[in-house]
Homo-oligomer: A and B are copies of this chain.
């Protein structure tokens, strides 16, 4: 298996992009990444997208987007794993380069969620859960994560304020990210008094509905070393795991098993452990998710995640910075794009290009991208090569 590196990244400001179509935001970020890498062609492309069918009435993005980017006939493939689609697309692109089939591969994530062509966004997002057994019986995504929060509060004595500290930290980081959808700072009081969505989760515990895209250029590490523009970032570990899609199918209601398994695979492949990681981007679709994920990845002990944001442990200057980009919470969460955007952020962290939100001296970083209520998870570990 060939070693694989990231040599270019592209991302634009996320938000409610009413004036742009999915194909527009895709092409913008893809061209930024190609420019950043200094490449004038690609050998293949992968697109992470959760539900362009339900959101904008368009499947077959592989053909549409290779066409609009002007690169057909290159092989193009769309990869879907709900909100982990971006991470899964990166893993698939990684395998393409690792196998020797392709040299220069464009990996993108994209989602247009605001202009829903039929139905509504809640229904579309429900397709990430076991729709027939969960959502058709009345639960929504905030409801699923609210049950996790309640179960965790019950077992580990987490306070409502501790949840709020996750949002406060991520908005603090996001305020330093010019591409974030909601770059305003928030206080614990604002979170605690924001509109209730699904008890105990309030609107400021939830990631938003976002239009956005992000892109990466991969190539063999040996080729990357000769390209010279950026220090190559090696994909040192790639882990991917599945678990019960339905929340009621889990052995333990406060453990995200697929996250733990995907982390173990990535650590093993990279030959490192949780203590060797300098910064992480995790899938904080809700404040409780960040807490459960950092526990599952072994970054904090089980039951200790609740105080990580409150104590400053996961703050930008803390021992293990979590979501320096602002996370899904502040940066936004165009579902299929998130996993790629996490890696855009971390690559820029390794290049020292993050300005005010730079994690000083970051040499090895990790991205964790989750599908649904934890039914799938993808983890990548990146190192300065």
Task: Enumerate chain A interface residues (CB-CB to B < 8 A).
Answer: 1, 21, 44, 50-54, 56-64, 66-67, 72-82, 88, 91-92, 95-96, 98-101, 118-119, 123-124, 126-132, 240-246, 249, 257-258, 261-262, 371-372, 375-376
Contact = CB atoms under 8 A, between A and B. Distances in A.
A140 to B, nearest CB: 14
Given A53-B51, A67-B375, A73-B241, A81 B60 contact: yes
A75 B238 CA distance: 11
Contact of A258 (B44, B73, B82, B119): B73
B258 A72 contact: yes
B62 A371 contact: yes
Given A21-B132, A67-B245, 17 more contacts: A1-B101, A51-B53, A53-B54, A60-B82, A60-B372, A60-B376, A62-B371, A63-B244, A67-B375, A73-B241, A73-B261, A75-B242, A76-B242, A76-B376, A99-B99, A99-B100, A118-B118
A61 B1 CA distance: 28
Contacts of A56: 131
Contacts of A118: 118-119
- The count of identical subunits is 2
Secondary structure class of chain A's binding surface, majority of residues: mixed
Nearest to A49: B80
Of A75, A92, A131, A258, most buried by chain B (CB within 10 Å of CB) is A75
User: Nearest 6 CB-CB pairs, A to B?
Assistant: A63-B375, A99-B99, A75-B240, A60-B82, A59-B127, A73-B241
A378 B168 CA distance: 48
A72 B243 contact: yes
A60 B245 contact: yes
Contacts of A61: 80
Contact of A1 (B73, B88, B100, B372): B100
B82 A79 contact: no
Contacts of A81: 60, 62-63, 76-78
A313 B119 CA distance: 49
B244 A60 contact: no
A67 B100 contact: no
Contacts of A51: 53, 59
8 contacts: A51-B53, A60-B371, A62-B88, A72-B241, A76-B81, A92-B92, A95-B99, A118-B119
